[in-house]
Chain A
Amino acid sequence: MATTTIAISGYPAAPRPFTLRLHDWVTTVDHKRLGILYILYSLIFLVLGGIEAAIMRWQLIRPHNNLVSPEVFNRMFTMHGTTMIFFVAMPMLFGFANYLVPLMIGARDMAFPRLNAFSFWMSALGGMLLYFSFLGGDGLYGAGSAPDVGWFAYAPLTAKTFSVGHSTDFWILSLLVSGIGSVGTAINIIATILCMRCPGMTLGKMPLLVWLNLTMAVLVILAVSPLTAAQIMLLVDRYVGGHFFDTQAGGSAVIWMHFFWIFGHPEVYVLVLPAFAFASEIIPVFSRKAIFGYSVMVLATVAIAFISMSVWAHHMFTVGMGAGANIFFVLSTMAIAVPTGIKIFNWLATMWGGKIHFATPMLFCIAFLFQFLVAGLTGVTLAVAPFDWQLGNSYYVVAHFHYVIVGGILFTAFAAFYYWFPKISGRMYNEALGKLHFWLFLIGFHLTFDFMHIPGLLGMPRRIYTYEPGRGWDIWNLIVTIGVAFQAAGVLVFAANLVLSYFRGRAAGNDPWDAWTLEWSTSSPPPEYNYAVVPSVRSRRPLWDLKHPEDPDWRYE
């Protein structure tokens, strides 16, 4: 095992000047530094997207509120959705994949370090283009304006007729550019996993995190490509007289929906598979047991990826597709509940008979299990097409997918932050602050997203900047808005914890969790080359084998 680092003579011991260090970061091709850049970048956008959400919730705190105009509200929900999916969730998860995958497979870097840097900077450019629209996206009257067509930008609202000025163009370009970055990173992850595993690490001995990220990367290529094609078609419509989606010239609004959702639904799994990946690493370590049903977990992952390519039109049950198509998409959508359920049961069985330690990462994972259960069940209610005719485009849907994205993905991402913070920074985080963050965020999450289901059941559609009194929605909207304050407080504690611990935390050592995967065998933070000697493995838990020579895993796998 590679537990030593190499001292390189002449390596500067004194701290380098700030400009030189900045130059190092901007020009870096090191997977760990790029991973950190991705993550920091996503945290900045998390704050921006959170502010946009808070403005919406404040506006909706009571009926006929006048905090913002309808124009501003429409920009807020468009920017919030676009930001959170493309510039928070994806870069955050790509960041962790970048950082962790090479370490976990015993490699010294990604397969294509320069492509890696290129991909990151393309994504960064995409985010900047989106936010530049606040200044440069001239509307009709020359005022600065951001996109206001909704994050799925249904045609023909995006046609020149209805969306004058350039805000929609900035939206198109930002997704086009960041999409190129996403595909670049996906290719890189696939090549790295297929070609750079250390000796002994067959596909069946990879940690589950690596399997899940491999599947995620394949899905990125399949899902982002149609989105990129659709963005180009929309640009053609807007600038060179194309009629793909221009209904006034015979184009089809429905084709845009198909293009968008053949991206949009696999995208959900692009985001949730890395969340599963975190849970699949963290739950075993804090339960002190091997993951239950490894090969079934892998099969379920691949099954989810396959099925996810055939479910997109469940976003279109109200579009008038005809009974046959609706029935097909009911079945395919419900089918995905089976492998997802298998995963929940396997995590449950992993905890069963273990010795569960309630450190902050595990608390976030346990909350994730409960919340993802609810998100899955409300997902099944939405898969029932007739029920969806009532629930679709209502606040129930908004509550459902925030349960997936916040309750599922963000919770496990927080777990991942706390779990790998010692590895990335070399310091332990503050456990008390971590628990405070957990409880604040848990309360805020449930106040907001539990109660958000109810106005949907009472007929409140999404994307309305205000609503009529007397619909029975007022009290629920008030509670939902109050929850936002708790979530914001939780995130502030999280940020304070990261900053304080980075400067003041105690040294973490190589392996603070007594964990089993390869990244814990090198120093914290790992040296640039990760491993002085390339490790070789015999099982899925190489460090378990090392720590328990009398009872190694490879006897049973």
Chain B
Amino acid sequence: MQMSPTNIFAPVSTPADSIFGLSIFVLVTMAAIFVVVFALLAYAVVKFRSRPGDDRREPAQIYGSTQLELAWTVIPVLIVVALFLAAARVIASVQNPPRPSGALEVIVTGHQYWWEYRYPHLNIVTANELHVPLSDPAHPSPTFLTLLSADTDHSFWVPRLAGKTDLIPNHPNQMWIDPHQTGVFVGQCAQYCGTQHAKMLLRVYVQPRDEFERWVQQQQRRASGASPGAASMRGERVFESTACVNCHVVSGTPANGRFGPDLTHLMSRDTIAAGAAPNTPQMLRLWIRNPDAIKPGSKMPAMGLSDQDVDAVATYLETLR
């Protein structure tokens, strides 16, 4: 269980941590009840079985007992009250957290089948890979996520950081994380959203403050644009003269579509297709040529480009750092 990168019992952020503590209390209580009732049932089944040598007389008929009924009503009520109070406390602490002034804000928009991230105060737009700073428990710098949807229902679930919260059109939601461990934390969409729900994967990069600042500066730069190499220049022309621009943004160029992920800094990402494939030259070319080969049913169409054009577009995209 320790090996799983999505284990709910290995929290690294306060909301996941509070849930973890509560869940242990609940599981221990349930296990205790299970052992007691299981033992009683097993005892009754073994002890009161009819035996071959029995006489044919019926056992004593007992119709009920008020004391017993009261006991097994009152005791469960007390257990329920204890569990309820514990749950209410965690609900209040996770749903109404203090909001320090240094908190980072990110607007998460779910799309069929990818994630859009906007950092309104930093003027950054990116996709599928969320970067957040490490939060020192002594000086917390949490990240607050506003959850929106562009189409159907989705759910943001990175088990080691927090429980899931749904992204519902016309119904903005909030959640927060304050990871106290660096690394890449994975998860995936947890509300069925259409054909490729399964490959709507989540990657959250938790970085030390200085590393996060460097990432911010790099994202804020204008894309370098097509370097004066013949192939990438031709690739940019192909990109800008086909339907690519209807769905994708490359800032500073005519490409300003909003339907698909922003590609301005595509090469700063480890994965493509919402985490379905690594961002390698081969995968990028395969994805452009035939998206269904990686993610059947994805909204990215196969553009029917010639091999030369695919290669040129990919070469151009590889300049977007």
Contact = CB atoms under 8 A, between A and B. Distances in A.
B138 interface: no
B30 A467 contact: no
A310 B270 CA distance: 47
Interface residues of B, number: 88
Interface stretch (A11-19, A66-74, A124-132, A418-426): A66-74
B244 interface: no
Interface stretch (B124-132, B196-204, B213-221, B245-253): B196-204
Contact of A288 (B3, B58, B165, B168): B58
Contacts of A251: 170
B80 A338 contact: yes
B13 interface: no
Interface in B169-224: 169-171, 173-174, 187-199, 201
A466 to B, nearest CB: 5
Interface residues of A, number: 97
Contacts of B37: 344, 348, 373
Interface stretch (A46-54, A176-184, A272-280, A329-337): A329-337
Interface in B7-30: 7-9, 16, 18-19, 22-23, 26-27, 30
A323 B95 contact: yes
B238 to A, nearest CB: 28
Nearest to A73: B198
B64 A292 contact: yes
B163 interface: yes
B83 interface: yes
Interface string B81-104: 001101110111011100000000
B65 to A, nearest CB: 7
Nearest to B3: A472
Contact of A354 (B59, B174, B198): B59
Contact of A320 (B54, B76, B174): B174
Given A70-B196, A71-B297, A386 B91 contact: yes
A334 B79 CA distance: 10
Contacts of A345: 68, 72
Interface in A137-173: 148, 150, 154-157, 162
B177 to A, nearest CB: 13
A21 interface: no
A334 B64 CA distance: 25
Contacts of A338: 73, 76-77, 80
B296 interface: yes
A357 interface: yes
B166 A459 contact: no
A4 to B, nearest CB: 26
Nearest to A296: B69
A381 B23 contact: yes
Interface string B41-66: 10011001110001000111111110
Interface stretch (B152-160, B226-234, B305-313): B152-160
Contacts of B86: 384
Contacts of A374: 34
A341 interface: yes
Interface stretch (A389-397, A403-411, A501-509, A525-533): A389-397
Central interface residue in A294, A356, A377, A387, by most chain B CB within 10 Å? A387
B59 A463 contact: no
A202 interface: no
A154 B192 contact: yes
A322 interface: yes
B23 A330 contact: no
Contact of A289 (B62, B95, B169): B62
B62 A292 contact: yes
* Dominant SS among interface residues on chain B: mixed
B6 interface: yes
B162 interface: yes
A504 B197 CA distance: 51
Given A253-B171, A320-B165, A331 B84 contact: yes
Nearest to B90: A386
A144 B258 CA distance: 33
A386 B22 contact: yes
B108 to A, nearest CB: 13
Contact of B30 (A342, A366, A377, A556): A377
B223 to A, nearest CB: 30
Contacts of A105: none
Contacts of A323: 91-92, 95-96
Contacts of B189: 461
Contacts of A463: 192, 197-198
A466 B198 contact: yes
B21 to A, nearest CB: 10
Contacts of A373: 34, 37-38, 41
A454 B4 CA distance: 11
A189 to B, nearest CB: 27
Contact of B193 (A157, A377, A548, A556): A157
A118 to B, nearest CB: 35
A5 interface: no
Given A373-B37, A377-B30, A326 B65 contact: no
A154 B33 contact: no
Contacts of A222: none
B64 A341 contact: no
Interface in A89-142: none
A457 interface: yes
A331 B88 CA distance: 9
A356 B170 CA distance: 58
Contacts of A218: none
B237 interface: no
Contacts of B163: 318, 386, 388-390, 392
A496 interface: no
Contacts of A342: 69, 72-73, 76
Contacts of B68: 293, 345, 349
Contacts of B8: 390-391, 457-459
Given A70-B196, A253-B170, A318 B73 contact: no
Which 9 A-B pairs rank lowest in CB-CB distance, beginning with the nearest?
A389-B163, A459-B6, A472-B4, A464-B198, A320-B173, A247-B169, A355-B50, A293-B64, A458-B4
Given A342-B76, A384-B87, 14 more contacts: A70-B198, A154-B191, A154-B192, A157-B152, A247-B168, A253-B168, A290-B63, A326-B95, A327-B92, A338-B77, A342-B69, A346-B69, A373-B37, A386-B87
11 contacts: A71-B195, A71-B297, A318-B164, A348-B37, A352-B48, A386-B19, A392-B163, A393-B155, A459-B6, A470-B5, A471-B5
